[in-house]
Amino acid sequence: MIEYTSGSMTVNDNYTDTNSASPKNISVPDLDYNTDFAVSKDEPDELVIVNTSESDLVSQETIRYARSVVQNVYRGNPEIDSSNQAATKKGVQVMAEVKSNYEAVNGDTGEVTLLPCKGRIVLQLPNAPYVQTDILADLLNRVIAAAFLEGSTDDTLVSQLAKGILNPKTA
C-alpha cells in the first residue's frame, strides 16, 4: 500500500489487495555489472551493456536501459477526468530490456540452435513533484506481480499467456 505526504498533497494508491498480508518472495539474480558486463552503447537517453562472461565471440545477452520524455501521461487514460489531472501533463518513461540468446544443443549431432528471447519492463510516470520513488517501487512490484498467479511464483501464468490464455482467472 502506498500512502505518503508531499507538501500539501497526500498520495495513496486507492486500492486494497485481498492478499496484501502475504506478499510473494521471488529470487532474482544479482548481476555484477562491473565484472560481467561491458558498455556497447552509451547515449544520453540509452545505454546498452553486453555480458562478457560468455566464451562465445557473439554475446548471448545484452541489457538495454532507456528513458524518454512523455508529452502527455494522460493520453490513453480517458477514465481520468481533466479536473483530476496534474498541472503538468509531461512525464518520463523508463525501460529495462534483456535480450538473451539461449542455446539448445542436439545431444546426438552437436548441432547448436540459438533461441532469441527478449523481456522488457516499461514504466511511465508523471513529472508531478509529489510523484516519489515509493510510487516507482510500487508500480515495478505490481508489474512483476502481474506475471504470476495468486499464491505462485512459477511460470504458469506466463506460459498460459504464451498459449493465448490472457485471463489469469482462467489460467
What is the domain extent for residue 59?
Answer: 20-128+141-162
Residue 4 has pLDDT above 90, yes or no: no
Which is nearest to 41 in space by CA: 33, 53, 50, 51? 50
Region of residue 59 (phi > 0: left; psi between -120 and 50: alpha; otherwise: beta)? beta
Q: Which residue has the cell 510500487?
A: 138
CA angle centred on 142, ends 33 and 171, rounded to 5°: 110
In a domain, residue 6? The reply is no
In a domain, residue 135? The reply is no
> How confident is the model at residue 70, as a pLDDT?
97
Q: Which residues, at least 6 apart from 87, have a Cβ–Cβ distance to it below 8 Å?
A: 128
Count of structural domains, the chain:
1
> What would the pLDDT profile of 10-52 be if each residue is shown by its tens digit?
888 877 778 766 778 888 899 999 999 999 999 999 999 999 9
> How confident is the model at residue 169, as a pLDDT?
87
> How confident is the model at residue 11, as a pLDDT?
87
In a domain, residue 102? The reply is yes
In a domain, residue 153? The reply is yes
In a domain, residue 136? The reply is no
> How confident is the model at residue 8, as a pLDDT?
87
In a domain, residue 14? The reply is no
What is the C-alpha separation between 47 and 96, in angstroms, rounded? 10
Region of residue 13 (phi > 0: left; psi between -120 and 50: alpha; otherwise: beta)? alpha
> How confident is the model at residue 53, as a pLDDT?
87
> What would the pLDDT profile of 136-149 be if each residue is shown by its tens digit?
999 999 999 999 88
In a domain, residue 61? The reply is yes
In a domain, residue 44? The reply is yes
> What would the pLDDT profile of 44-93 be if each residue is shown by its tens digit?
999 999 999 876 666 689 999 999 999 999 999 999 999 999 889 999 99
Residue 164 has pLDDT above 80, yes or no: yes
What is the C-alpha separation between 165 and 145, in angstroms, rounded? 17
